[in-house]
Amino acid sequence: MPKTPTKKELLERLNVLEKTWVPRNVETINDPRNEPASTLVGLSAERVHAAITQAEAGDTRELFSIYRDVLIADSHLQSVIETRLLAVIGDEPMVSPVDKNKPEDVAAAEAIKAAIDRLPDFLGLCRDLLWGAIWPVSIVERTYKPAGLPGLEYDWGELVPVPDHLLRWTRGVIEVELVDPHSRRPAGQFVELDPARYITHKGHLLKTADNWGGPMRALSWWFFLKVMDREWWVRFLDKFGTPFMVGKFDKADDKSRQVLERAFALATKVGGVAVNKETTIELLKAGTGDSAGSFESFYRICDDAIARRVLGQTLSSTASATGLGGGASGIQSEVRGDIAAFDKKRLAQTLRTHLFKPWLRLNKFTGAVPRIAFGGEEAEENTATATVLKDLKAAGVRISDKSLPILSQRVGLELERDPAAGQLAPGAEPGTAGAPGLPGVRTLSAPLEIPTPENATSSISRRAAAMISQAYRGTLAPAREILLTSSTPEEAERRLLAAFGDWDPTRAAEVIESAFAAGAWNGLQ
């Protein structure tokens, strides 16, 4: 029979297993010497098409090199991409527990907050992941180290972005090339991505395979059109933009003709021509028409197409007239709200799933993975949210505690219910002024009290007299008495039509309906 292992042997085996799946040493080495050479020198449409074909077959090295060079060479593309990324990482991240009433959820959230504070560059990690909104995918290697803190076993170690030139899809799945730690050169050995080691972020909505290029593939073509337009413009100016000389001489004077030909050949060097007084020279300029305007228009079309793909609009990257009252100044340097909201939610999902959750489980936390949000909505959207909440309160609806985390993410601040609003005033009933929740607002969970016919009048007087007295004053005061003393809506309608001869049945029905909504006819139907 096999020997039963001792407790010490079991612990040693567990430690060995733990070391095999918990990454401790980083494998990604970012050595600038491994970067492919620049592709812009001698770049042609044929070479771009060849790079795309190779990428579709799984070898993305050449295509990603073109992406890199396009981004470095185009200041406009850099600006719009940075604007989009800053719309997310420019806001303060907020970590909150899933359920504030559960101690284990609160403990998990506090532990994540402290762990983020210990990271040397959390915003840099978010930046590296957000490039997956423009590139087909972004990958960051994650390692762990001993925590050295009470109650924790592991802490995050190095978080290193994986360079694009180390990726390939030739086997149908994404693989990363290993780098020799001694020579710091690619080893030629590719391994599949291990979810325990690598964080993968895809921040766009394209359904195509990642090796087909992602959003950057479309952006690159607009850059090439801009470059070609600029090259064509320079060639045009070189040929037609500089004035040229026209010499006039007597057709019988061959000597003057020869002198002019030699002079014109040397004119770019000497800068002048010496001829006799019978010979004349004129400087003429080609009729360029509106070539400068055409060049500018096409260049702007390319820039607008880039901005529209990255930011969803063009006014934040190009100042354009929007007409009287257009408010162009209010949207400069902004990103469309739906795009920014998607980037924030997508990044938060990646961080929760691939960064927070493994760390919490390694450290034996049992609480739910905390939420993370980056800032809140724009001022206009927050104003709209506040208006909706105000209208709900006026309609008698109270926001439940479960909705507060969602509102916190929208506002960008951690919200909680005011304890003073939850204290029951002496003599107050649930669902009325002074009851728990918002003052004067009935909660959705509180059952409606249905008065019997015997106590209908007292119930009406107690609950709705104040509201009706505010609505019906002066000449409408009789309507208040009729509504409060009538036992049925039909009786109220007859008495209202008798008291107000200029009213029609429609208006009387509207008054009764409003009184019913206020609570005067609560339960009498």
**Residue bearing tokens 């612990």:** 11
CA 189 – CA 178 distance, rounded (Å): 6
Where does the pLDDT of residue 1 fall: very low under 50, low under 70, confident under 90, or very high at 90 and above? low
Over residues 201-213, the mean pLDDT reads 95
Same domain, 416 and 467: no
Establish if 425 belongs to a structural domain. Answer: no
Domain assignment present for 468:
yes
Domain enclosing residue 185, as ranges:
7-218
Domain shared by 394 and 506, yes or no: no
pLDDT value of residue 446: 37
Percent of the chain residues topping a pLDDT of 90? 39
Please report where in the chains the tokens 């291990």 appear, as a residue.
194
Residue 314 predicted with pLDDT over 80: no
**Residue 148 binned pLDDT confidence (cut-offs 50, 70, 90):** confident
Q: Give the confidence band of 379 by pLDDT, cuts at 50, 70, 90.
A: low
**For residue 445, pLDDT beyond 70:** no
Residue 228, φ and ψ in degrees, nearest 5: -65, -40
Predicted local distance difference test score (pLDDT) of residue 145: 92
* Rounded Cα–Cα distance for residues 190 and 47 (Å): 26
Are 79 and 210 within one domain? yes
Q: Please indicate, yes or no, whether residues 83 and 193 belong to a single structural domain of this protein.
A: yes
pLDDT for the residue 402 = 66
Pairwise pLDDT comparison (40 vs 411), residue with the higher score: 40
497 and 382: one domain?
A: no
Residue 456: predicted pLDDT: 42
- Model confidence band, residue 69 (pLDDT cutoffs 50, 70, 90): very high
* Per-residue confidence (pLDDT) for residue 494, from 0 to 100: 82
Q: Burial letters for 321-352: b for 16+ Cβ neighbours within 10 Å, e otherwise?
A: eeeeeeeeeeeeebbeeebbbbbbebbbebbb
Tell me, what's the pLDDT at 270? 45
* Rounded average pLDDT over 239-266: 68
Same domain for 80 and 206: yes
Residue 468 confidence (pLDDT): 53
HEC-encoded secondary structure of 372-416: EEECCCCHHHHHHHHHHHHHHHHCCCCCCHHHHHHHHHHHCCCCC
Q: Picking from 155-164, 425-434, 490-499, which range would have the lowest pLDDT averaged per residue?
A: 425-434
135, 157, 350, 414 from 310: Cα distances, Å: 11, 33, 21, 30
Domain boundary among 218, 235, 255: 218
Q: Tell me what pLDDT residue 431 has.
A: 41
* pLDDT at position 244: 60
- Does residue 506 belong to any structural domain of this protein? yes
Same domain, 49 and 111: yes
Statement to judge: residues 57 and 104 lie in one domain: yes
176's tokens: 């990363």
Domain boundary among 184, 218, 252: 218
pLDDT (tens digit, 9 = 90+) per residue, 318-345? 555 555 455 554 554 467 788 998 999 9
Q: Which of 20-24, 36-40, 45-49, 177-181 has the lowest mean pLDDT?
A: 20-24
Return d(Cα 165, Cα 176) in angstroms, integer: 9
> Do both 381 and 485 map to the same domain?
no
336/301 Cα distance (integer angstroms): 20
Confirm whether 177 is domain-assigned. Answer: yes
Position 117 in a domain: yes
Q: Which of 47-51, 116-120, 329-333, 501-505 has the lowest mean pLDDT?
A: 329-333
130 and 180 in a single domain? The answer is: yes
Boundary of a domain, candidates 171, 197, 218: 218
Q: DSSP labels for 315-344?
A: TTTS-----TT--GGGGTT---HHHHHHHH
Residue type, 59: D
Q: Is residue 313 part of a domain?
A: no
pLDDT digit string, tens, across residues 78-101: 999 999 999 999 888 999 999 888
Which has the closest alpha carbon to 359: 50, 52, 149? 149
Residues 6+ apart with CB under 8 A from 118: 155, 156
Mean pLDDT confidence for 106-114: 95
* Residue 209 and residue 159 share a domain: yes
How many beta carbons lie within 10 A of that of residue 130, not counting itself? 25
Indicate whether 228 belongs to any domain: no
Domain count, the chain: 3
d(CA 108, CA 106): 5
pLDDT, position 471: 54
Q: Domain for residue 238, yes or no?
A: no
Instruction: Determine the average pLDDT of the residues in 444-454.
Output: 38
Are the beta carbons of 91 and 374 closer than 8 angstroms? yes
Whether the pLDDT of residue 392 is over 60: the answer is: yes
Quickly state the pLDDT bin for 439 (edges 50, 70, 90): very low
Q: In this predicted structure, what is the pLDDT of residue 363? A: 92
- DSSP code of residue 425: P
pLDDT at 457 over 60: no
**pTM exceeds 0.85 for this model:** no
Q: Does 79 lie in the same domain as 26?
A: yes
Residue 458: its pLDDT value, please?
47
Q: By mean pLDDT, which of 153-167, 172-186, 309-323 is the weakest?
A: 309-323
Task: Give pLDDT, residue 230.
Answer: 64
